[in-house]
Structure 1
């Protein structure tokens, strides 16, 4: 079946549940897990710019720390379940592209990710990284709810 599972996380509660689900799935199938988190290379959000109070270097160091904390949780959960795990941090403004690129680069045969369940105007304006991944990858995607 699946041998290598990519599981992206943004540290949200839903993403953490998906991480747990991916590790349980990997454990049951004998697969390994690749944890991924994506950080913004510079703090902007759409049309609204945010200029950090601190310097760019301080911002980037804080984001790297956040990323490592997210991925440490993946590694610790995987170790507890005796599942082999590696982790990747990507810096980009396009998380869905990083997810697809990482899955391909790491030789993953499935992407296991959370559905954040946005609906209505929120989904229309913000979009969904899960929807973008589904639309742009040829790999199987398991959407965890």
Structure 2
């Protein structure tokens, strides 16, 4: 039985599905929930510096606040279910690494996460955060689609 479950979220409907499933599982096992949302920093490009229309600091503050809202959804669901929950956010260009590191930091024994199910060229060019977590995680990963 898993006792500490990491639940990454990007705020999508698929992530909400992972949250619901993690909460349901945790209720049956009296497990603790760890919620994480990783905000990606402003994609700075020196070539676009002169045409930059958005303030990178403002952008990063907005995505950080959005990440906080995403993990609050997890905390609220866990509280409503009577479960212990901790949340964390991170700022990184590599969300998969942050997720794997959070699993280690919080001594999680499972990760419940969503996959957007991209295939073909979009998977090749965009990569799959879930696939990278699966490849590098040392704990079981339940992928929901």
Q: Do both proteins adopt the same fold according to a TM-score greater than 0.5, normalized to the shorter chain? A: yes
Which residue in the other structure is 1:13 paired with?
Answer: 13
Give the match's secondary structure for 1:108: coil
Residues 115-124 or 30-39, more deviating? 115-124
CA distance in structure 2 between the aligned counterparts of 1:26 and 1:141, rounded to whole angstroms: 15
Select the structure that is richer in helix. Answer: 2
Which residue in the other structure is 1:117 paired with?
Answer: 117
Contact 1:8 1:36 in 2 (8 A): yes
How many residues get paired? 143
What 5-or-longer segments of structure 2 have no aligned partner?
A: none
CA distance in structure 2 between the aligned counterparts of 1:133 and 1:88, rounded to whole angstroms: 17
Which residue in the other structure is 1:144 paired with?
Answer: 144
CA distance in structure 1 between the aligned counterparts of 2:52 and 2:17, rounded to whole angstroms: 31
Corresponding position: 1:27 with 2:27: yes
CA RMSD of aligned residues (A): 2.0
Give the match's secondary structure for 2:54: coil
| Aligned-pair CA distance for 1:95 | 0.7
Alignment of 1:32-51 (within 5 A): 32-43=32-43
CA distance in structure 1 between the aligned counterparts of 2:58 and 2:129, rounded to whole angstroms: 27
Deviations 1:44-66 (A, max 9, x none): 59xxx797633222212211210
Which residue in the other structure is 1:83 paired with?
Answer: 83
Residues 106-115 or 52-61, more deviating? 52-61
| Aligned-pair CA distance for 1:36 | 0.4
Contact 2:32 2:83 in 1 (8 A): yes
Corresponding position: 1:105 with 2:105: yes
TM-score (norm 2): 0.90
Contact 1:52 1:59 in 2 (8 A): no
Deviations 1:111-144 (A, max 9, x none): 1111211111111211211111111122111112
